[in-house]
Structure 1
Amino acid sequence: MPPFSSAFAFLPWADWLALALFFAAWWGYAHWSRWRAGKKLSILATTNRWRREWMLQTTRRDNRIVDAAVTQSLSASPAFFASTSILIIGGLLAALASSEKATELVREIPFAARTSMLVFDLKLAVLTAIFVFAFFRFTWSIRQYSFGAILVGAAPDADQFPDEAARHAFADRAGRLMGMAAETFNDGLRAYYLSFAVVAWFFTPWAFIGATAFVVWVLYRREFHSDVLATLREGL
């Protein structure tokens, strides 16, 4: 099989355009959403404020079993997606190992693009790379939640802080760490969403472009204009 570098010579310009727009949309939206959250609270920025309030309440509780249970529950989601990513990566690697049969199967799907095996392998490789990225983000989120659990366990009682400012500073620090774990988990989820756009690439590059735009629109609506966000804002 020719090396993947030869795909640069065989991949049509429409596919290169779709691939460039995909990564530009992914990178651009990730940075834009962080900037936008500074002006208009996103669902992540809003929940970060609630995380800070949670950590503030933690310092008032003598028994922190509930806080430990909530932290464990939060870390269960990235653990599930990390395990799922491993299974998906394994399936994609198996498809790469038998790409000739996989190519014939895709060709039987109506409206699917008829491409060479090399281009098909490139599409599988891009999809695999996305789930590898998601796996690393999910596992890092798990570790961050474990660090947050340490802070919850180490939180002094309210009367042990030298003053109220020190208690609020601890809540800010612990809440910020929990927010980092949530943001990392959000990065992994965003990769999952965008992987569906890559699936459209197996049909046509134009479907790939359209699916990328649609997924970004869905992400934007859920992060900045969802009913959940409106409900979360009511208590702030």
Structure 2
Amino acid sequence: MEPARFMSYWLDALALVYFFGVWVLYSRTTDKGFLNRRSLTSEMNLARRQWMTTMSSRELRMIDTSIMIGLQQGTGFFASTSILAIGGCFGLLNSSGRVVTLFHDIPFLGETTERLFETKVLGLLVLFAYAFFKFAWAYRLFNYCSILIGGVPMARDKAPDDPQVIFSVNRAAEINILAGQHFNSGLRGIFFSIGYLGWFLDPVLFMITTSLVAVVLLRRQFFSNARDALLRNNANPDS
């Protein structure tokens, strides 16, 4: 193997490892916190629990069912979009020869073989498949949560501090939070697929676009106006 091509393969492998490393690190940072700051997702999980607690005191729960329908519709939309993206990846595989020829005509791009291009497309396909399964499972969990909401005892039948009410509320909240986590994981796959597109041009650009996506997501989770709005009335917002 030529030294230049050998180095190119190693650079591609390094960029791919970097991509997944950044993805895992970002996921853990979102769960654990960053610079002693809680993430926007963590604050929304607290809001989900508050929602379920408030719901238990309502006798008429049309508001709650309407919210659940909206969550399911949004999740279903992204699941359908992921399916379309998977179909687009298969379309790229069918025309890989023409695309590689087009890449060869662009002067500032490195050498790309048809096999390498197909490998990159397969990786993109895996990302969209991962996102689809996350969205599909989130959709089902939101459906389960709707059933659990219907099983929470009515306020007129039980006291708010009744053990059965507390158990039902906590159960519905946990499923709601879990559904939100899977939905966020699916969105994460979509977001990082944008950074993945840089690999089609250059492995170094791949690492740069991956870093940019991670920085944008970190800012939204820990330094965004949305997070500040949730914590505006909190005496210790970074706790």
Partner residue in 1 for 2:131: 134
The question of 1:105 aligning with 2:108 is answered no
SS at match of 2:33: helix
Tell me, what secondary structure is at the counterpart of 1:164?
Answer: coil
d(CA) in 1 for partners of 2:107 and 2:192?
Answer: 23
Aligned length: 228
| Residue in structure 2 matched with residue 145 of structure 1 by the alignment | 142
SS of match in other structure, 1:14: helix
Q: Please say if residues 113 and 202 of structure 1, whose CA atoms lie closer than 8 Å, have aligned partners that are also in contact.
A: no
Q: Distance in 1 between matches of 2:175 and 2:37?
A: 21
Q: Counterpart in 1 of 2:61?
A: 64
For residue 235 of structure 1, report the CA deviation from its aligned partner.
5.0
Name the CA shift for 1:60/1:109 in 2 (closer, same or farther; >3 Å).
farther
Structure 1 SS opposite 2:59: coil
CA-to-partner distance for each residue in 1:150-206, whole Å, 9 max, x for gaps? 111111112433661523443232222111111111001111111111111111110
- By relative contact order (CA 8 Å, sep 6+), the higher-ranking structure is 1
Return closer, same or farther for 1:64/1:108 CA change in 2, 3 Å cut-off.
Answer: farther
One-letter code aligned to 2:195: A
> Of the candidates 198, 212, 215, which is equivalent to residue 213 of structure 2?
215
Contact 1:141 1:182 in 2 (8 A): yes
**Which stretch of the first structure deviates more once superposed, 139-148 or 155-164?**
155-164
* Structure 1: runs of 5 or more not aligned: 1-8
**2:20 partner letter:** F
Query: Which is worse superposed, 192-201 or 94-103?
Result: 94-103
Shift of 1:12: 1.4
Q: Which residue of 1 aligns with 2:87?
A: 90
Q: Distance in 2 between matches of 1:220 and 1:33?
A: 8
1:117 alignment partner, one of 92, 100, 114: 114
Change (3 A) 1:125 1:214: same
Q: Output the amino acid matched with 1:146.
A: N
Q: Which amino acid aligns with 2:99?
A: A
* CA distance in 1: counterparts of 2:152 and 2:225, whole angstroms: 34
CA gap 1:88/1:106 in 2 versus in 1, 3 angstroms: farther
User: How far 1:114 sits from its partner (Å)?
Assistant: 2.7
Structure 2: distance between partners of 1:81 and 1:63: 30
Alpha-carbon deviation of 1:113?
3.2
Q: Give me the identity figure in percent.
A: 33
Give the TM-score normalised by the residue count of structure 2: 0.88
The 1-side partners of 2:7 and 2:114 are apart by 11
- Aligned-partner residue type, residue 98 of structure 2: K
2:158 paired with 1:161 = yes
1:227 match? 225
Change (3 A) 1:94 1:36: same
Return the alpha-carbon distance in structure 2 between the equivalents of residues 111 and 152 of structure 1: 57
Give the match for residue 187 of structure 2: 189
Residue 3 of structure 2 corresponds to: none
What SS class does the counterpart of residue 83 from structure 2 fall into? helix
CA distance in structure 2 between the partners assigned to 1:177 and 1:216 by the alignment: 27
User: Contact (CA 8 Å) 1:53, 1:171: kept in 2 or not?
Assistant: no
- In the alignment, is the contact (CA less than 8 A) between 2:152 and 2:169 conserved in 1? no
TM-score, length basis structure 1: 0.89
How far, CA to CA, are the matches of 1:110 and 1:73 in structure 2? 48
1:11 Cα deviation from its structure 2 partner: 5.9
Spell out the pairing of 1:165-176 with structure 2 (5 A cutoff). Answer: 166=163, 167-176=165-174
Structure 2: distance between partners of 1:40 and 1:64: 34
Question: How far off its partner does 1:123 sit?
Answer: 0.7
